[in-house]
Amino acid sequence: MNSLADLQVALSNLSHNEDAIGHVQKFCSGLKGTEGRIALFNSENAIIRRPIEQHVAAGLGFNTPDDEFVLLQGDLVTTESAYFLGERVVGCPKYAVLNSSCDLVPGRATCSSLLRIVEIKKAEQQAKEKLGMLLKFSRRDSMYIPPLPDDAEDVVGNVIQFDGMCQIRTPDLLLANRLASLSLVGWRIYASFARTVLTRANQREVTIRTAVEQAKEPEN
């Protein structure tokens, strides 16, 4: 790889690739309906688990300074110190941490990004239909996660929304109440959605950019 053109070709299959989401959707299509998907994804430690604690990781041998953490990417938290479109969100809102775990070390990043989590309640209109769609992971702006340990009894699911980021000072985020961590596969799914939603490219855009770069510069 000796040219920018070679680099562009290599990146074309990585930087904006949607294959990961396709694998998730294909997996879900092999499960037996909404009930089967609920049974799998809501099972213990399936895609969420109790918060992963630093002392537990240290006991497994991850005890160097580089292994230290307060929060991990994808951790599900509640805090009233975050802002959305310039306004502070109150009422015990829930969020998923978007930043990479290595950026969540105290003193490293000034601000962090969060994704809003919205509850699905049993009594709301078309709750069953909404769950059915989310459990196929067919929406690119939403990811299903099960009810969290502190959720009310009428909450039948949660949705991580990728259509708008919240911002918070990292020192305030490190004081947030951790509700859960994502499991390894849950984190993989979350990262796949985050990359696809935030960086995916329409094929038409590839065509436009290619044509523009191949065109001759207009003469003055």
Question: Is pLDDT above 90 for 205?
Answer: no
Cα atoms in the Cβ-side hemisphere of radius 13 Å centred on 8 = 7
Q: Report the first-to-last Cα separation within the chain, whole angstroms.
A: 35
Tens digits of residue pLDDT in 49-78: 999 999 999 999 998 888 889 999 999 999
| Alpha-carbon gap, residue 131 to 128, rounded angstroms | 5
Question: Is pLDDT above 90 for 16?
Answer: no
C-beta atoms surrounding 173 within 10 Å: 25
Question: Is pLDDT above 70 for 15?
Answer: no
Question: Is 101:91 a contact under the CB 8 Å cutoff?
Answer: no
Strand, coil or helix: 89: coil
| Alpha-carbon gap, residue 50 to 53, rounded angstroms | 9
**16-207: which CATH number, 3.40.1160.10, 2.40.10.10, 2.30.30.110, 2.170.190.11?**
2.30.30.110
Domain ranges of the chain: 16-207
* β-pair partners for 178: 77
Q: What is the percent of the chain with per-residue pLDDT over 90, rounded to a whole number?
A: 56
Question: Is pLDDT above 90 for 213?
Answer: no
